[in-house]
Amino acid sequence: MYAVRCADRGLAAASLRGHLAAIGAAHRLAGVALDLRHLRLIMVLESIARDKGTRPRQKAAAAGPDVIRLMLASRPSPATPLGARDRALLLVGFGAALRRSELAGLALGDVTPVPGRGLRVLVRRSKTDQRGAGQEVAVWANPKETGFCPLAALEA
């Protein structure tokens, strides 16, 4: 019933399998028996996969320079603290090609200005680095276009 209800809500077959794996793990930790290979459950999952298909949905394209410029234009003025912070976050994130979680995980000490060159960004943990080995990423300055320069935005 749970699997059918989730499928009716629009959950993809692969996501539903992830939910069931989590439910199975919770049952094992609680010492309660649950057979995820029960014939009825397998038949229901196969039916959902046939009905919905298994092809993944198309991911949204990454934001390019034009989209970033539109995002910057919609933010408060860079003369305000909020506008300066938003501009720095957007430009550093774009320049370093960071995921949202990587950008949110940055501390001010993780971003080091390299005068005249750009920035050095330490990404401590990412989707592909779950153990936190860390990676430094170079972000080049854009002195020809100071309104679109990560170094200038960070300094502001």
Counted domains in the chain: 2
131 part of a folded domain: yes
**How far apart, in whole angstroms, are the C-alpha atoms of residue 113 and residue 120?**
6
**How far apart, in whole angstroms, are the C-alpha atoms of residue 148 and residue 126?**
25
* pLDDT tens-place string over residues 85-129: 999 999 999 999 999 999 999 999 999 999 889 999 999 988 888
Rounded mean pLDDT, 54-77: 85
User: Would you say 142 and 154 are in contact if contact means Cβ atoms under 8 Å apart?
Assistant: no
Same-domain pairing of 74 and 151: yes
60 part of a folded domain: no
The pLDDT value given to residue 55:
66
Is pLDDT at 56 greater than 70 in this prediction? no
Same-domain pairing of 35 and 83: no
User: Phi and psi at residue 59, in whole multiples of 5°?
Assistant: -80, 150
Q: Which runs of consecutive H residues, i.e. helices, occur in 2-155?
A: 2-8, 13-30, 39-52, 65-74, 81-96, 100-104, 150-155
98 part of a folded domain: yes
Rounded mean pLDDT, 35-64: 83
Rounded mean pLDDT, 28-35: 93
57 part of a folded domain: no
Same-domain pairing of 69 and 146: yes
Same-domain pairing of 48 and 96: no
How high does pLDDT run on average in the chain? 90
Q: Residue 8 has what DSSP assignment?
A: H
pTM to 2 decimal places: 0.65
pLDDT band at 54 (very low <50, low <70, confident <90, very high): low
58 part of a folded domain: no
What is the extent of the structural domain holding 23? Answer: 2-52
